[in-house]
Amino acid sequence: MQTGTANGTAETGRFGRFGGRYVPETLIPALDELAEAYAQASRDPGFLAEVDRLAADYVGRPTPLYRARRFEARAQVAPVYLKREDLNHTGAHKINNTVGQALLAKRMGKPRIIAETGAGQHGVATATACALFDLECVVYMGTEDVVRQSLNVYRMELLGAEVRPVDSGTRTLKDATNEALRDWVTNVGDTHYIIGSVVGPHPFPLIVRDFQAVIGREARRQILEVEGRLPATVVACVGGGSNAMGMFHAFAADEGVALVGVEAAGEGLGTGRSSAPLSEGRPGVLHGSLSYLLQDADGQVAPAHSIAAGLDYPGVGPEHSHMHDTGRARYASVGDGAAQAAFRELPGLEGIIPALETAHALAWVAEAGGRGEIEAPVAICLSGRGDKDVVHVAGLGGGAAAGAGA
C-alpha cells in the first residue's frame, strides 16, 4: 500500500476549496486522533505490509484486468478493459477500505465499529472485516434500502453485525449516514466509524481514497503490461465516489488519460429525481465536508433518487468536486433506464452480472462509444457484482436477459 499525501491534504483537510471538517465540536478530538493514527500507520512498514498481506490472502488481490471483447463490439470501441473489483471477497471494491480501516481501528484500540450502507455492499464489507478482527459491528441502513437489498441485510446478520434500519428523511444512504454520525457523536470514546466512501469530514476522504487507490495502481500496471500504453479513457460510476477515486488516483498525474465519472441521472436531470450533484448541484455542506450537493434554494438537502441504492446520495466526495472544478476529471450521467439495460446486457455478453451502480459506467461507455465520442483504450472499474440486484431488477419486469447480446 502507498499513501498519497503529497498534495498537502493531510495537513489542510482540503481538496482545493472542498472538504474540511464541518462537524459538531464533540467529534473534533476523534477526528484529530484518527488523522494522527492514520499518519503514523501510513508511515509504519508493519501496518502497510499487513494491509498488503490481507489484500492478497483475504481479499483476493490483485483483481484481474479483463478485456471484454463482446462488450467492445456492442460499444463500438476497442479495446475495453474491465477492472474486476467484483471478484474481490464480498463482491465489490468496498472491502479494500473496510479491511484497512478495521486494522486502523484495532491499532487505535477501538472495539466497536459503526458504518452506514446504501446498497449494502459497504455494510457487508464492514461486517466481514469486523468478523475477521473480532470487532463489534453496527450498520445503519435506510428502510427503503433494507427492502431493496434484503439479501445483503441477511448477509450482514450472518456475519455477526447488527443492522439498524433508519426510518427518517428519505430512508436511504443519506439518512443512514446521519444516523451513523449521531451514533459516533454519542459513542465516540470506544467507537470507530468506518465510512464507506470518499465523503465525510477530514481525514475520511483521504483515508478511503488511499485504501481504494490500489484499484488504479493495479489497473495502471496491468494495462501497461498488456497494451504497452496507458488507457486513453478511465471510467467509473460515482455515488460518493470511492471506486472512482480509487480508480482515478493512480492516473491523476497522467495528463493524457481522460478520467470520466458517471453519476446517476435517475429519472433524468432536471426532474428532481436524480443523484447527480456534480451535474446539477452546487457547493454545500453535508456530512462534514464542503462539496457539490443537491439542495434547494434555502439550503435544504434535496432528496436523491437512483435505481442503484449505492448511488442514491445527494452529495459526492470533495476530491471529485475539486477534480470537477479543475477539469481534471469530467462527470457525465446515466439514467435508471439505460443503467438497467446495461445490467441486463452484460451477463449475456460477457458472463458477468454487474452491480446496478457499475451498470451506469458500462451504459455510458456503450452510449459514448456508439457516438464515437470515446477514445480507446478504455478501462472501466467494474466496481461490484450484481447478485444483490437480481431480485430487485427482476421485480421491475421486462424479463431476464432483455436485449442481451442479441
Partner 1 sequence: MTGARPPGRIAERFAGLAAEGRAGFVPYVTAGYPTLDHTRELVAGLAEAGADVIELGIPFSDPMADGPTIQRSSQGALDAGTTVGGVFEVLAELRGRSEVPVVVFSYLNPIHSRGVGNFVREAADAGADGILPTDLPLGADPDLEALLSDSPLDLVRLIAPTTRPDRVRGIAHASQGFVYYIARTGVTGARRELRSELAREVAAVRAVSPLPVAVGFGVSTPGHARAVGAAADAAVVGSALVDALDNGGVSGALDLARALRTALDEVGPAVPPGTDPA
User: Is 106 one of the catalytic residues?
Assistant: no
**Cβ closest to partner 1, residue 39 vs residue 285:** 285
Could you say which residues in the range 181-210 bind partner 1, by CB under 8 A?
Answer: 181-182, 185-186, 188-189
What is the Cα–Cα distance from 263 to 277, expressed in whole angstroms? Answer: 8
**Cβ closest to partner 1, residue 190 vs residue 373:** 190
Q: Which stretch binds partner 1 (CB under 8 A): 213-221, 234-242, 262-270, 280-288?
A: 280-288
Rounded to the nearest 5°, which phi and psi values hold at 374? -135, 135
**Cβ closest to partner 1, residue 8 vs residue 24:** 24
Rounded to the nearest 5°, which phi and psi values hold at 251? -100, -5
Q: Is 115 in the site for partner 1 (CB under 8 A)?
A: no
- Strand, helix or coil at 104? helix
- Strand, helix or coil at 150? helix
**Cβ closest to partner 1, residue 286 vs residue 361:** 286
Could you say which residues in the range 20-59 bind partner 1, by CB under 8 A?
Answer: 20-30
Q: How many residues contact partner 1, by CB under 8 A?
A: 36
User: Is 174 one of the catalytic residues?
Assistant: no
Q: Is 287 in the site for partner 1 (CB under 8 A)?
A: yes
If you ran DSSP here, which 8-state letter would residue 300 be given?
P
CB atoms within 10 A of CB 133: 17
User: Is 383 one of the catalytic residues?
Assistant: yes
The catalytic residue among 94, 110, 174, 388 is 94
Contacts (Cβ under 8 Å, ≥6 apart) of 57: none
CB 142 within 8 A of CB 175: yes
What is the Cα–Cα distance from 394 to 62, expressed in whole angstroms? Answer: 32
**Binding string, residues 237-276; x marks residues near partner 1 by CB under 8 A:** ----------------------------------------
77 alpha-carbon distance from chain centroid: 26
Question: Nearest to residue 337, comparing CAs of 316, 307, 365, 314?
Answer: 307
**Cβ closest to partner 1, residue 30 vs residue 346:** 30
Could you say which residues in the range 301-320 bind partner 1, by CB under 8 A?
Answer: 301
What is the Cα–Cα distance from 152 to 155, expressed in whole angstroms? Answer: 5
Which residues form the catalytic set?
94, 116, 383
Residues in contact with partner 1 by CB under 8 A are: 20-30, 168-169, 174-175, 178, 181-182, 185-186, 188-189, 283-288, 290, 293, 295, 297-301
